[in-house]
Amino acid sequence: MLRYVIKRVLTVIPVLLGVSLLVFGFIRMIPGDVATVMLGERATPENVARVREQLGLNKPVYEQYLIFIGNALRGDLGRSVLRQEPVTQELLRRFPATIELALSAILIALLVGIPAGIVSAIRRGSVFDAASMLLALTGVSMPVFWLGLMLIFLFSVVLHLLPTGGRLGASMEFTATTNFLLLDSLLQGNFHVFFQALRHLILPAVALGSIPMAIIARMTRSAMLEVLSADYIRTAHAKGLKERAVVINHALRNAWLPVITVVGLQVGRLLSGAILTETVFSWPGIGRWLVDAIYARDFPIVQGATLFIAIIFVGVNLLVDLLYAFVDPRIKFE
Amino acid sequence: MRTVSPANNSDEIARVLARPPRSLWRDAWRRLIANRLARLGMAISIFFLLLAIFVPVIFPYNAKIDSDLMNQLLDPSLEHWMGTDEQGRDVMNRIAHGAQASLGVGVSAVLIAVIIGTLIGLVSGFAGKWIDLGLMFLMDILLAFPGLLLAIAVVALIGPGLRNALLAVATVSIPVYARIARSTVLSIKEQEYVTAARCVGSPSTRILFRHVFPNSLSPIIVQGTLGIAAAILEIAALGFLGLGQQPPYPEWGAMLADSVKYLTSGAWWVLLFPGLAIMLTVLGFNLLGDGVRDALDPRLRVD
């Protein structure tokens, strides 16, 4: 087991090196002079020279990469060209917002998707089964940004129930420590802020969670269906166990594996979806920051944020793989 | 396993021989059209494909002069079934003309990705050794990015626009097909008919394209159909972010981006209909893809 873990962790290193090379290459592959592209045609020669200097574009390429990777390893991803803020610092400041959104989304997806899948499998062919699977099918086919806009239209514009975007109303005075607003407000005992933060979180979390929810529901259903026809389930029924015990202790326990895999596979979708959801809901996370930086042609931010998200993605996939091996003793550690 | 007693063995053989020959593809087609949801998916997909192909031919559209500022944001009516947008343009007309951008580009992106990805996978699986290692390493790097992020990065690099969005979406999906083609090749390589071909002295390229490639097609077709659905969503997402189709040309994602400004004014039709078009098209290809999967490999069928 330990050998498998070490081996699996080691495979990540060349991939991350490749990722860093690709991300580094991005800026260098831009046609034309990067500094001019960033600052626009009307930039003064001094400014162009300053940006070239800041990005180290005057040095040989291999030296530029060594500097880039050396700095990145020390957690320095350069500075924004426009606002001169350090990219790493800004990333870390915005990261909790993205995590809060993504975690809430996956939580909603699990809380609704798994029970819906289980009930669909047990009552296969029922109206509930048909309805929830139809819903799941339309759920996976919906663009997440459209769902977000529709939710805003319905719950904010028409019904005036929830805010249209942001994490807290502009008038709220609140100093966050960890920048996980729900956590901070609870720790400080500020329930008014907690409630407001929750109200802002609901719509984006539902929008972002909808597709994973649909996929998890379908996967849980099919995994449960497969398990429910197994011999040991019939045995469990035959020895007089209650339906509940059969489903939870025997069926669900063995249906977990595909469900965990599918949850793991949602990480990429969540990160991609977060870019769109944050844009729709003006959510001050990494995704929206990245999109804004692309509009502004602020390439150090694009480079830093892309690298950061890719590292998170690779890291979570690694964790899921390890978890998978840990949960299923049948997997051979070769 | 079923055992056949010698007594009726010849009967059995005679019966099998008497049956009209059925190819794998004809069998799969029969299973596909027997599946109700797959038929629905096929109908939806074909409807939008026809829209994308024929609308620009039959009803030429000049996006540059199509604005009627006297008729901004009109409610849906008999004259404008889906209302008009902020420039007085008929929403239904723009959805019909947007099909070419959204769907056409999605399909093209998948075609490009399938061709390049399959080639990479075939070569990788067939050549083995360091060629395999190197190519798969490249694919792993591309897979280390969440799909949309990589597409956004590519567009940020080569500039916004529909053609670049197509390239970006194609790039993102190449590793998926490469991976599938490679793993199929690896399993087919060990089959006896490949060994036989090698024994009679067929050159490698002939074995690759005559024996390995046709037999590795079905997982790629399945993934390709489902991939069209994903590609349409990605093209729409890029359009929504302003990185795909540029104004004034219509594209469903970009139309949704335009509708954001009128969200609070209650103009629901500019929001609802382009999104519905995306959802229906994607649903169509998803249903079709699920059906194709069940038809080509009945063992994979869930229920």
Q: Where are the domains of chain B?
A: 23-57+82-300
A272 to B271: CB separation less than 8 angstroms, yes or no:
no
Contact call for residues B274 and B98 (beta carbons, < 8 A)? yes
User: Å from A121 to nearest chain B CA?
Assistant: 10
Same domain, yes or no, for A183 and A314? Answer: yes
User: Å from B231 to nearest chain A CA?
Assistant: 11
Q: What is d(CA B88, CA A275) in angstroms, rounded to the nearest whole number? A: 31
Across the range A207-220, mean pLDDT stands at: 90
Same domain, yes or no, for A115 and A60? Answer: no
Instruction: Name the residue with higher pLDDT: A165 or A96.
Output: A96
- What is the pLDDT tens value at each position of chain B, 303 positions in all? 455 555 566 777 777 666 666 677 777 788 888 788 888 888 898 988 888 888 777 777 776 666 667 777 677 777 767 777 777 677 777 887 888 888 888 899 999 999 999 999 988 888 878 888 889 889 988 888 888 888 988 888 788 888 889 999 999 999 999 988 888 888 887 778 888 888 888 887 787 777 777 777 888 888 888 899 999 999 999 999 988 888 888 888 888 888 888 877 777 887 888 889 999 999 999 988 888 888 887 655 544
State how many domains chain A has: 2
Same domain, yes or no, for A136 and A101? Answer: yes
A141 in a domain, yes or no? yes
Chain B hits for A269, Cβ within 8 Å: 146
Is the confidence at residue A41, as pLDDT, over 80? Answer: no
Is the confidence at residue A161, as pLDDT, over 70? Answer: yes
A286 in a domain, yes or no? yes
What's the CA dihedral at B261, B267, B268, B271 to 10 degrees?
Answer: -40
User: Å from A175 to nearest chain B CA?
Assistant: 31
The pLDDT value recorded for residue A32 is: 67
Same domain, yes or no, for A13 and A153? Answer: no
Q: What are phi and psi for residue B191, nearest 5 degrees?
A: -70, 155
Same domain, yes or no, for A128 and A198? Answer: yes
Diameter of chain A measured on Cα atoms: 84
Same domain, yes or no, for A135 and A203? Answer: yes
Domain CATH code at residue A158: 1.10.3720.10
What share of chain B has pLDDT > 70, as a percent? 89
Average pLDDT over chain A, rounded to an integer: 82
Confirm or reject CATH 1.10.3720.10 for domain B23-57+82-300, answering yes or no: yes
A78 in a domain, yes or no? no
Q: What angle do CA A254, A260, A213 make, to 5 degrees?
A: 115
Same domain, yes or no, for A32 and A160? Answer: no
The pLDDT value recorded for residue B1 is: 45
Q: What is the pLDDT of residues B99-139, one digit of tens each?
A: 888 888 889 999 999 999 999 998 888 887 888 888 988 99
Contacts of A206 (CB under 8 A, 6+ apart): A105, A108, A151
Q: What is the pLDDT of residues A253-301, one digit of tens each?
A: 777 777 777 787 788 788 888 889 998 888 888 888 888 888 888 888 8
The pLDDT value recorded for residue A172 is: 66
Same domain, yes or no, for A232 and A158? Answer: yes
The pLDDT value recorded for residue A48 is: 79
Same domain, yes or no, for A124 and A66? Answer: no
Best mutation target, B37, B45, B143, B145, to test chain A (most A CBs within 10 A) = B145
Q: What are phi and psi for residue A74, nearest 5 degrees?
A: -85, 5
> Which structural domain range is residue A318 located in?
95-327
